[in-house]
Structure 1
Amino acid sequence: MDKYQQSQKNKLFKTPPHDPYCLPRVEGSAVCPQCDAVYQAGNWTWNRPENAVVHDAQTVTCPACRRIADNMLAGTLMLSGGFLQKHHDEIIHLIENTEKTEMAEHALERIMRVTEVADDLMVTTTGIHLANRLAHALEGAFKGKAQYRYGDSQYGVNVTWARNE
């Protein structure tokens, strides 16, 4: 055993948190009865592939619909600052358009709720990638500063975005 192997042997590696809403592999194809997303070849999508046998497909609730029903968010985006108050409608439109773009590609990335909390705005999502993408879109369009905190023991992300003006 060389020095590198010996040094790595003594380190504890943290395993990434597991998403409890990630389904085990479904045999064949499946259709979500609530949103009509299609599970085919290991992916949930909105497009039914040409070769998908829909009449033999199972009905399986997709992870995003299960999260919404259980009210178990995966991502939280908290927006604050004076800029938010002055440009509230523009920011809401950016959030909605970013969600549409992301949902077209990824069926499991959805906004659960947009809530006003005092002078702040809280957006909850069914996936960590949408919360991340929303923060990047806000930084790109309106500048500001975003901070990302991923869960150590739980699958999720908390993002804060702020711009004072």
Structure 2
Amino acid sequence: MDKFQQSQKNQLFKTPAHDPYCLPKIEGSAVCPQCGAAYQAGNWTWKVPENTVVHDAQTVTCPACQRTNDNHPAGTLTLSGSFLSAHRNEIINLIENTEKKEKAEHALERIISLTDSEGALVVTTTGIHLANRLGHALKAAFKGHADYQYSDDEFGVSIDWTRDE
């Protein structure tokens, strides 16, 4: 079997990746009882569409609340370096403001936690897009070096941001 045939065979039997927190298609509309996000036409949003009767909507826990409850982040951002300790409050403000902007537009992109771990600050998120945006915002505002590592299933990202001096 030549290289081309082998590559075609590998593609043929490869199963598609499945996000365990992707809900099955919901008929009609739904509201998350924990955060109040509304599901309509395949999207989670903070605005309940005008044609939705809230008391007729299903009660479904959104994927972001499920990830938060399970403490199973899609994104992990680890910040380290001497710059972090000197500018900690500014960095946390940038992180919180970036999350506020992202969360306003995308109901499933949220911070799960900000924790200290051996001189580093670890930020966990419910989605890879928020983690990615935080990494880019840190690099744009404070320079430093960011290293992005996506998991094999493409439903997780680990970002290490560091700056010394």
**Partner Cα distance (1:64, 1:150) in 2:** 19
AA partner of residue 119 (structure 1): G
AA partner of residue 40 (structure 1): Q
Q: Could you tell me which residue of structure 2 aligns to residue 97 of structure 1?
A: 97
Residue pair 1:21, 1:66 contacting (<8 A) in 2 also:
yes
Task: Give 1:1-165 correspondences, 5 Å limit.
Answer: 9=8, 12=11, 17-153=17-153, 155-165=155-165
**Partner Cα distance (1:94, 1:34) in 2:** 26
AA partner of residue 80 (structure 2): S
Q: What is the deviation of 1:18?
A: 2.1
Q: What is the deviation of 1:8?
A: 6.0
Helix, strand or coil for the counterpart of 2:35?
Answer: coil
**Partner Cα distance (1:17, 1:156) in 2:** 12
Residue pair 1:128, 1:156 contacting (<8 A) in 2 also:
yes
Identity of counterpart residues, as a percentage? 66
AA partner of residue 17 (structure 1): A
State which drifts further: 10-19 or 89-98: 10-19
- Please list the CA deviations of residues 115-163 of structure 1 after superposition, one character each: whole Å capped at 9, or x if unmatched: 0112110000111111101000001101111111111147311000011
- For structure 2, the residue ranges without an aligned partner over 5 or more in a row are none
AA partner of residue 52 (structure 1): T
**Partner Cα distance (2:98, 2:15) in 1:** 31
AA partner of residue 46 (structure 1): W
Helix, strand or coil for the counterpart of 2:112?
Answer: strand
Q: 1:12 to 1:66 in 2, by over 3 A?
A: same
Measured on the aligned residues, the alpha-carbon RMSD in Å equals 1.8
**Partner Cα distance (1:126, 1:102) in 2:** 12
AA partner of residue 97 (structure 1): N
**Partner Cα distance (2:21, 2:9) in 1:** 33
- Please list the CA deviations of residues 9-59 of structure 1 after superposition, one character each: whole Å capped at 9, or x if unmatched: 355486663210010110000000000000001000001111222221000
Q: 1:147 to 1:15 in 2, by over 3 A?
A: farther
Helix, strand or coil for the counterpart of 2:56?
Answer: coil
TM-score (norm 2): 0.90
- For structure 1, the residue ranges without an aligned partner over 5 or more in a row are none
